[in-house]
Structure 1
Amino acid sequence: MKPLILWSALLLCTPLQAAQLVLELGAGSRTWQTAELLAHPEVQTITISDDVSYKRDMSYRAVPLEALLEGVKADDHLQAVALDGFAAELSAAPLLNRNGARAWLAIEDPSRPWPKLAQGKPSAGPFYLVWTNPQAGHISPEQWPFELASIKRLAPVAERFPALRPDPALASDDPVNQGFALFQKNCMACHRLNAAGDSQFGPDLNIPYSPTEYFGEAFLKRYIRDPQSLRRWPQAKMPGFSSSVLPDTELELLLGYLKHMAGRKQQP
């Protein structure tokens, strides 16, 4: 059989919804196919209460994420990248937990596709990072990336993107540095700042202006809590951050970092 004909035959035999997940973890790097993950020895059916993306209870075939993170240590830093450019920055420690809040890789079976996220939108597949008992780990909505394409082990954010760093004269436990940590957890999956970051999803939060410069503080807090209460349009994607996810004290720290960085603009 000629190579072109053989290739065409292979394509015809491949399920259209089959996918692959790329893990770039150094020595533990590999590419997983949908069928391999569905046959993983630790795969099981889990139920997620009030799923972040579907806003209702959902059941998935899933593998504990730590079972796939070969060679990853608790103090490592990972980045989960979605097909649409969403890039979640993740500390490895919570992903390796077996107790409390536990991370799972949900796998969409091509023969049993998941529901669409909304009319005209795809499902959360082919892979989706979900959590059981997320309240125990103070897990943010940004730590639930869907349409997952890859997980990479990278250097910490401050090393990769110096333009995001607060004034180096500040103490490590300064409130501004605490706000920087919250920015990484809650904002970097969608937003850049000073043109620094890997996300291709949302607008820059400092160039040309910080939202702290054009929003009054009360309205900015309201916008973070419930974006569509101020700006409503069908294509809006920013989730609201409730006080259970981002307590008032943490919201103040986050705004403190943004205000600080408004004075440290770096033009791209």
Structure 2
Amino acid sequence: MKSILALLALLIALPVSAAQLTLELDHASKTWQTADLLKHPDVQTVQIIDDVSYKRTMTYRAVPLAVLLPGLEPKSHLQAVALDGFAAELAAAPLLEQKGARAWLAVEDPAQPWPALAEGKPSAGPFYLVWTNPQAGHISPEQWPFQISGIKQLKTVAERFPALLPDPKLAANDPINQGFGLFQKNCLACHRLNGAGDAQVGPDLNIPYNPTEYFGGDFLKRYIRDPQSLRHWPQAKMPAFATSVLPDNELELLVGYLKHMASRKQQP
């Protein structure tokens, strides 16, 4: 019994374990170990003001994400997959920027673990996509995936999931298509629509019902702005989308896309 208790005490005392990150690009694949990233020649200490996940200023050891994506073209499309099923769809162009809003892969050091995201929850590690100067690039909360296990290059969302597409008769610059772009950026990391998408966190936004069918008046917009103001429960995961992240005109476009898709239901 004493030996079992001693082993349990040892396990509890152990620091956060090292992890590995898998990068899968069309032209190359690589698996990075925590230790290798922490010793990377481009690793730096970065300070993140008003961190999206921790809601305060945080300091990380981080590598510019662009240096981990050699040969990737700005027109490419990536997906960051988290341990909990969150699947962030990421256009490559912002990730490759060297100035303005800049993407960094923050690496959790097992010897200096990050704090828990909330009581009873793990940290944002082992890997977390953070941004310096995010306001310069209009970066949304969904572009800050944490607990990342891998990043892979994929075809575009439209190519992979045609069930998400608006009416093909619409012009490319139609407001509905603009709303579709905003849906990809802000919603697809957590939600599916018509059963299409890789996320496993939030409910489908068209099957069986589209939120524009059961939110009356401006309540859907109010819900997107601050979900907890309409439905409050401790385990809620949906973040609030402030006007600095999703301006009023873009919120209008997003809701327009959802309303349009309510008439284009497809059973999974």
Q: Which residue of 2 aligns with 1:85?
A: 85
Q: Distance in 2 between matches of 1:39 and 1:215?
A: 50
Q: Distance in 1 between matches of 2:200 and 2:261?
A: 20
Query: What CA deviation, in whole Å up to 9, does each residue of 1:218-251 have, x standing for no partner?
Result: 1111100000000000000000000110000000
SS of aligned partner of 2:218 = helix
Q: Which residue of 2 aligns with 1:233?
A: 233
Q: Which residue of 2 aligns with 1:137?
A: 137
Q: Which residue of 1 aligns with 2:114?
A: 114
Q: Which residue of 1 aligns with 2:247?
A: 247
- RMSD between aligned alpha carbons? 1.0
Q: Distance in 1 between matches of 2:90 and 2:43?
A: 23
SS of aligned partner of 2:90 = strand
Q: Distance in 1 between matches of 2:70 and 2:161?
A: 26
What's the CA shift for 1:217? 3.4
Q: 1:80–1:90: 8 Å Cα contact kept in structure 2?
A: yes
SS of aligned partner of 2:50 = coil
Query: What CA deviation, in whole Å up to 9, does each residue of 1:187-214 have, x standing for no partner?
Result: 0000000000000111000000000000
- Residue identity opposite 1:164 in structure 2: L
SS of aligned partner of 1:163 = helix
Q: Distance in 1 between matches of 2:170 and 2:26?
A: 33
Q: Which residue of 2 aligns with 1:10?
A: none
What's the CA shift for 1:27? 2.1
Q: 2:190–2:199: 8 Å Cα contact kept in structure 1?
A: yes
Q: Which residue of 2 aligns with 1:70?
A: 70
Query: In the comparison of the two structures, how many residue pairs are matched?
Result: 255
Q: 2:129–2:145: 8 Å Cα contact kept in structure 1?
A: yes
Q: Which residue of 2 aligns with 1:261?
A: 261
Counterpart mapping for 1:56-67 below 5 A = 56-67=56-67
Counterpart mapping for 1:131-210 below 5 A = 131-210=131-210
* TM-score relative to the length of structure 1: 0.94
Q: 2:226–2:239: 8 Å Cα contact kept in structure 1?
A: yes
Note the residue ranges of structure 2 that are not aligned, 5 or more in a row. Answer: 1-13
What's the CA shift for 1:71? 1.7
Q: 1:108–1:114: 8 Å Cα contact kept in structure 2?
A: yes
Query: What CA deviation, in whole Å up to 9, does each residue of 1:157-199 have, x standing for no partner?
Result: 0000000000000000000000000000000000000000000
Q: Distance in 2 between matches of 1:39 and 1:258?
A: 45
What's the CA shift for 1:28? 2.3
What's the CA shift for 1:252? 0.4
1:31 partnered with 2:31: yes
Query: What CA deviation, in whole Å up to 9, does each residue of 1:47-74 have, x standing for no partner?
Result: 0000000000000000000000022110
Moved over 2 A (4+): none
- Residue identity opposite 1:85 in structure 2: G
Q: Distance in 2 between matches of 1:92 and 1:257?
A: 23
Aligned residues with identical type, % of pairs: 76
Task: Summarize the Cα distance change of 1:246–1:93 in structure 2 as closer, same or farther, 3 Å threshold.
Answer: same
Q: Distance in 1 between matches of 2:219 and 2:15?
A: 48
SS of aligned partner of 2:184 = helix
